[in-house]
């Protein structure tokens, strides 16, 4: 029932020599020297490491940081707005990007059209609504109806021509939404169009 305890193995002198500390009597000294030799420099303190990671021009307080952030955002908006006015692709919204849309804009901007005076006409019609005259009040609805019909007919032909032109010059590219895109740009006042027109009325494109 009682097992005899096995005698403890006696370590050999060779094993004692391998596991013995170095000449300085400190077992961690070897590891420390190996680590220092591998890196070639002492480990920096936490405060020094944080100071090294901090940008050189970092603001001193939160108010200064907020001011610099607002300045950067304002500069980015200005730069993007200028690029949008010039028609640069990286600054354009998704609906305005691509060679097909650029060609459509050039086609619409190449001529003066009745549609671009539509907004001026609406202002005149709005003013006529306040005129206390029976004849004027009777013709205002007719004028509104005539203006809407003109815009619809002209927009239809502008869109159809813009799509045909895009298919002719850029075969294989998608022309989805080109007709509506051209009609809506034609309704905008020329000075307020965005991106800005690249060509003047009457110029070829």
pLDDT digits (tens, 9 = 90+) for 160-202: 999 999 999 999 899 999 999 999 999 999 988 988 898 899 8
Tell me the C-alpha distance between 86 and 198, whole Å.
8
**What CA–CA distance (Å, rounded) separates 68 from 55?**
14
Q: Confidence class of residue 74 from pLDDT cuts 50, 70 and 90?
A: confident
Of the pLDDT bands very low, low, confident and very high (cuts 50, 70, 90), residue 14 is very low
* Average pLDDT, integer, range 30-48: 52
What pTM does this model have? 0.60
- Please write the tens of the pLDDT for every residue from 131-168: 888 998 899 999 999 999 999 999 999 999 999 999 99
CA quadruple 96, 101, 107, 108: dihedral sign:
negative
Mean pLDDT for 101-111 is: 94
Question: How high is the pLDDT of residue 58?
Answer: 55
User: How far is Cα 22 from Cα 115, in angstroms, rounded to an integer?
Assistant: 95
Quick one: DSSP state of residue 120?
A: H
Residue 24 has pLDDT above 80, yes or no: no
What would the mean pLDDT of 104-129 be, rounded to a whole number?
90
């Amino acid at each position: 029932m009682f097992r005899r305890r096995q005698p403890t193995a006696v370590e050999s002198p060779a094993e004692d020599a391998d596991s013995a500390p170095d000449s300085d009597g400190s077992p961690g000294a070897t590891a420390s020297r190996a680590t220092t030799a591998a890196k070639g420099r002492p480990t920096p303190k936490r405060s020094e490491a944080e100071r090294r990671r901090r940008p050189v021009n970092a603001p001193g307080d939160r108010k200064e940081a907020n001011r610099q952030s607002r300045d950067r955002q304002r500069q980015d908006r200005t730069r993007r707005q200028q690029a949008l006015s010039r028609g640069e692709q990286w600054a354009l919204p998704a609906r305005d990007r691509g060679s097909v849309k650029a060609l459509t804009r050039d086609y619409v901007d190449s001529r003066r059209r009745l549609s671009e005076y539509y907004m001026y006409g609406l202002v005149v019609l709005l003013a006529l609504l306040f005129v206390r005259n029976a004849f004027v009040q009777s013709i205002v609805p007719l004028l509104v109806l005539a203006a809407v019909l003109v815009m619809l007919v002209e927009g239809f032909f502008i869109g159809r021509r813009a799509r045909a032109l895009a298919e002719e010059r850029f075969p294989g590219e998608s022309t989805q939404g080109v007709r509506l895109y051209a009609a809506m740009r034609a309704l905008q006042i020329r000075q307020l169009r965005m991106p800005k027109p690249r060509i003047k009325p009457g110029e070829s494109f």
